[in-house]
Structure 1
């Protein structure tokens, strides 16, 4: 057999193995689930199960899913760019085990959540509108760098937001 023929077969086999491994990885990681807005997709990483469980028992569970709070909603390019960046950062942190028991939101993530809190609640809440000059003047200098969760700390993930925060991850559906 000629050297070129052996080289071609070897290259074909290497590409087939790489493709097979890639497909296997995509299947096992449930990669296509991340294209949806289904909150259960976040629990593909076991680290997120307590966050899912605490959200599932909150008032937000009936009205908003993870992407409604944590991703831009104004256009698809920003949404999927943020989703990709966050997914990459989560994958690296989870794979290399560089996160603590309590995950901390990035500055960019905090900005997105703050914008979404304001977007959802500023026009809907009568109490918020009535007291906007006293407590919720978002463009006021007196508000400073305060975020919604500085006062509304337990929304929507409860008092304790950590891996140990929800014993046995009560409420997490295992039928995915």
Structure 2
């Protein structure tokens, strides 16, 4: 009885290991923005970031994940699972928007990086219920809808099986 379970666990470990190797899983553990751009639906977002002001200062993870080690990788794992699920099932939200939990992380990171500026605005108190990116939306990703890419995300994404 123990032998089949052991063999099954070994085969499962080999299958998971092969999947991780073939998907170049380790690239997603780093901070390289091109990893975020592996999916074509991110082309316009990546293109916007690439030509916007934050490129020289921040990567995707600097804004979209917590800076602390364990929370950062927890959020990356959760987001990765959501992204893989959405692509596998073929249900991508259109347009792509940050979830509320991600918006809170982005807000905390805006304040983290711009503490001095925030402290000088309105005596350091932020408008309750408003995010920095509500007024400064084009700072990190540039103006929406502008891309030099011929295959720009036009807001009409449909899985291939529905076309």
C-alpha change, 1:64 and 1:36, in structure 2 (3 Å) is same
Distance 1:144 1:166 in 2: 37
Map of 1:13-92 to 2, 5 A cutoff?
18=12, 21-73=15-67, 75-92=68-85
Aligned to 1:114: 107
Looking at secondary structure, tell me which structure has more helix per residue: 2
SS at match of 1:156: helix
Query: How far is the alpha carbon of 1:52 from its aligned partner?
Result: 1.4
Q: Say how many residue pairs are matched.
A: 152
**Which structure 2 residue ranges, 5 or more long, are not aligned?**
153-163
Map of 1:86-101 to 2, 5 A cutoff?
86-101=79-94
C-alpha change, 1:151 and 1:91, in structure 2 (3 Å) is same
Deviations 1:23-77 (A, max 9, x none): 442233221111111111112222222211211111111010010000101x211
Conserved 8 A contact 2:48-2:143:
no
**Which structure 1 residue ranges, 5 or more long, are not aligned?**
171-176
Considering only CA atoms, is the larger Rg found in Structure 1 or Structure 2? 1
Distance 2:51 2:151 in 1: 11
Structure 1 residues 109-118 or 96-105, which shifts more?
A: 96-105
Deviations 1:102-149 (A, max 9, x none): 2111111000000001111122x4xx554x118x732xxxx1211111
Match of 2:122 among 122, 126, 133: 133
Q: TM-score, normalised on structure 2?
A: 0.77
Tell me the C-alpha RMSD between the 2 structures: 3.0
Distance 2:98 2:105 in 1: 10
Q: TM-score, normalised on structure 1?
A: 0.72
Aligned to 1:155: 139
Aligned to 1:173: none
